[in-house]
Amino acid sequence: MAEKVMRSPILFFDSNPIGRITTRFSKDMTLMDVMFPNVTVLVTQGILRSIIVMITVGIINPYLFIAALFAMVYMNWVMKTASASMVQVLRMEQKFGGPINTCM
């Protein structure tokens, strides 16, 4: 955000008062200061919980990893084959969707 503001034309600063710009920066920084630590704790707990579950499953029934490997290979193949068509659909949506459709 700082880079975009620094590289913006003079017209941007003429139409937006400096107070509005600094308020926006302070709101964004407050959001980062309040939300970032909580999200970091949740993500870390989720990753560690996943690792512990995988270790437990590996100890109890290691044959499940073979099925998981096949599932991951299949999911990777599906994503590779479907990504081109998903990109085409998104392009068509943006091209043919008018402003009324995007508002709704």
Report pLDDT digits (tens) over 76-100.
Answer: 999 999 888 888 888 887 777 666 6
Do 33 and 74 lie in one domain? The reply is no
Do 38 and 89 lie in one domain? The reply is no
What type of residue sits at position 14?
Answer: D
Residue-wise pLDDT tens digits, 16-64: 787 777 777 777 777 778 888 888 999 999 999 999 998 998 899 989 8
Percentages (nearest 5) of helix, strand, coil residues in the chain: 90, 0, 10
Predicted local confidence at residue 104, as pLDDT: 59
Q: What distance in Å separates the CA atoms of residue 67 and residue 58, rounded to the nearest whole number?
A: 12
Name the residue range of residue 70's domain: 63-104
Higher-confidence position of 55 and 10? 55
Do 44 and 95 lie in one domain? The reply is no
Residue with tokens 């392009």: 91
Predicted local confidence at residue 99, as pLDDT: 63
pTM (2 d.p.): 0.45
Do 45 and 76 lie in one domain? The reply is no
